[in-house]
Amino acid sequence: ERKNGEMAEELELAREVQQALLPDEFPKISGGGATMNFCRLYEPAHLLTGEFFEVLPLAPDRVGFLMGEVFDRGVRSALIVSMLRGLIEKEIASAGDAGEFLTGINVGLSHLLLNSGHETKATAFYGLVDLTKGEIQLSIAGHVNPIAVFDDGVRQLVPPAYACGPALGVAENSSYGTVLAPLTGLRRLICFTEGFQNTNNVEGKEFGVTRMLEEVERGGDLDRVMERLAEAVKDFGGHQEFENAICLLGWEITR
């Protein structure tokens, strides 16, 4: 019983550390007559899980953003997230090329997992916005596609196949391409995790992307939109204890 109590305390400490490492304040990025602001929402699960995100200011007018999810539970998931944070820092010199950045992180994680004898994987979505050039780069490692708000409507942002690769840590020789697109008409982006969209209700039905799109279409301030998304998924799930943290990272561009 004492051991169980100590283990529970250690898990709680690991959860607190994991939350403390999540970015809470974000840089304001400006350039090309536009400004970009970030917003986040994070509610931990009752178990220690592996959702995380990073915002990487690369210049006054350029910023990278990453959303990831480790497919593991407990202390091990927290350790893998810590490994990934270290790899993000190590690979920061290549963060100006979305695909190259994810490729470097994948090599590092694959090595670490091989040496430790653990088998797991982590998905990631990495984007880079350059306001002065009016461009966005995207690369995906097995992660769910974000929701984008354009001048002409709301839809999932689906990069071409060459910018999409497998989850990180699965194969060291995996490479990840980069898609470069104009920012024209793109106003907002909301990144989320697979666990969020896959939340089941008591009947076993998934929350799904369609419900997310409907909620985002209602509009309003970005932080309120993200709060409504969290409320909607909790209502849908019957306010049961969630297996996954609620983890959302969003940004908007004002021109």
Q: What is the pLDDT of residues 96-131, one digit of tens each?
A: 999 999 999 999 999 999 988 888 999 999 999 999
Terminal C-alpha separation, the chain: 59
Q: What is the CATH number of the domain that holds 218?
A: 3.60.40.10
pLDDT-derived band at 76, boundaries 50, 70, 90: confident
- Is 228 exposed, middle or buried (CB count within 10 Å of its CB: 0-12, 13-18, 19+)? middle
Question: 80 lies in a domain?
Answer: yes
Instruction: Report, in angstroms and rounded to the nearest whole number, the Rg of the chain calculated over CA atoms.
Output: 18
Q: Is residue 189 part of a domain?
A: yes
Q: Are 197 and 247 in contact (CB under 8 A)?
A: no
Pairing type for strands 164-165 and 135-141 reads parallel
Q: What is the pLDDT of residues 170-210, one digit of tens each?
A: 999 999 999 999 999 999 999 999 989 999 898 989 999 99
Closest CA to 207 of 246, 154, 172: 246
- Asked if residue 1 belongs to a domain, the reply is no
- In a domain, residue 12? The reply is no
Judge whether residue 72 has pLDDT over 90: no
- Closest by CA to 143, choosing from 210, 186, 98, is 98
Residue 188 lies in a domain: yes
Q: Which residue has the tokens 């007559």?
A: 33
Q: How many domains does the chain fold into?
A: 1
* Position 26 in a domain: no
Residue-number span of the structural domain to which 84 is assigned = 31-254
Residue 195 vs residues 61, 71, 111, 123: alpha-carbon distances, Å: 32, 10, 26, 12
Q: Vertex 182, ends 191 and 42: CA angle to 5°?
A: 15
- Evaluate if residue 15 carries a pLDDT over 90: no
